[in-house]
């Protein structure tokens, strides 16, 4: 199974840090955020990673190269300077992702989640990793009941930015610029999305305060 790291975001809430550096290259614990994700994927057995690029994407490619120093093959999916939104970026990269299920990971999260074995869980169109709601997102995104994920329910969790998708999940979308949430809701209406709850360490590095929090944690490891 191949993995895709989403790295095309502008990082508006992290300005001015992201005025000259793409968010995945911001440093935590003395290293770029994205390097921790790459090394975690490699330790879980992934041998090929696709990274989508938009804003300042050339700096990401320059920093990571072909992946040789991480013992992995890295390929890049170029979207131009503005990007194609989450689903649009994945659809654009489908020719690189192959015909089987693939893992998608947000490039701006920090977590000790282990990616091993996720592929065998994807009997439906998608399998999502959910986490307890963080302070900045108290209402959550989706419910999880007996392994089924829905946007309806009483107890909600937050989508971690980690999920496994089948190419067929995107078959109904013919738009170039498109977010992921509407496609997830459509698949949930068909009971085609499974999930799991992860209660270990996870942080969305969306603000300077959270970036500093992750930096302090990584510096201690």
* Torsion angles phi and psi, residue 113, rounded to 5: -60, 140
The residues facing 44 across adjacent strands are none
pLDDT in tens, 177-198: 888 999 999 999 999 999 999 9
C-alpha–C-alpha distance, residues 78 and 52, integer Å: 6
Q: Quick one: pLDDT band at residue 122, thresholds 50, 70, 90?
A: low
Of 140, 131, 129, 137, nearest to 162 (Cα)? 129
Query: Domain span at residue 121?
Result: 3-220
User: What is the mean pLDDT of the segment spanning 87-106?
Assistant: 94
Q: Quick one: pLDDT band at residue 121, thresholds 50, 70, 90?
A: low
Look at strands 48-53 and 73-78 and give their pairing.
parallel
What percent of the chain is helix, strand and coil (3-state, nearest 5)? 35, 25, 40
Sign for the CA dihedral angle at 45, 50, 53, 56 comes to: positive
Q: Quick one: pLDDT band at residue 120, thresholds 50, 70, 90?
A: low
Domains contained in the chain, number = 1
- Does pTM surpass 0.75? yes
Note whether 85 and 178 are within 8 A (CB).
Answer: yes
Of 9, 13, 43, nearest to 24 (Cα)? 9
Q: Quick one: pLDDT band at residue 81, thresholds 50, 70, 90?
A: confident
CATH number for the domain harbouring residue 170: 3.90.550.10
């Amino acid at each position: 199974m191949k993995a895709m790291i989403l790295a095309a975001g502008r990082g508006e809430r992290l300005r001015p840090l992201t005025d000259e550096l793409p968010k995945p290259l911001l440093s935590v614990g003395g290293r770029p955020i994205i390097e921790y994700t790459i090394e975690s994927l490699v330790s879980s057995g992934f041998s090929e990673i696709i990274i989508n690029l938009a804003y300042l994407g050339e700096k990401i490619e320059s920093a990571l190269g072909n992946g040789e120093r991480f013992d992995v093959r890295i390929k890049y999916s170029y979207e131009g300077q503005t990007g194609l939104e989450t689903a649009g970026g994945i659809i654009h990269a489908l020719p690189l992702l192959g015909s089987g299920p693939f893992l998608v990971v947000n490039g701006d999260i920090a977590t000790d989640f282990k990616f091993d074995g996720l592929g065998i869980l994807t009997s439906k169109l998608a399998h999502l990793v959910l986490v307890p709601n963080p302070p900045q997102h108290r209402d959550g995104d989706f419910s999880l009941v007996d392994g089924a994920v829905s946007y309806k329910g009483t107890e909600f969790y937050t989508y971690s930015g980690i999920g496994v998708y089948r190419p067929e999940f995107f078959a109904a979308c013919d738009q170039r610029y498109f977010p992921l949430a509407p496609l997830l809701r459509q698949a949930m209406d068909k009971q085609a999305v499974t999930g799991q709850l992860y209660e270990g360490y996870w942080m969305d590095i969306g603000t300077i305060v959270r970036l500093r929090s992750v930096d302090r944690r990584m510096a201690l490891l």
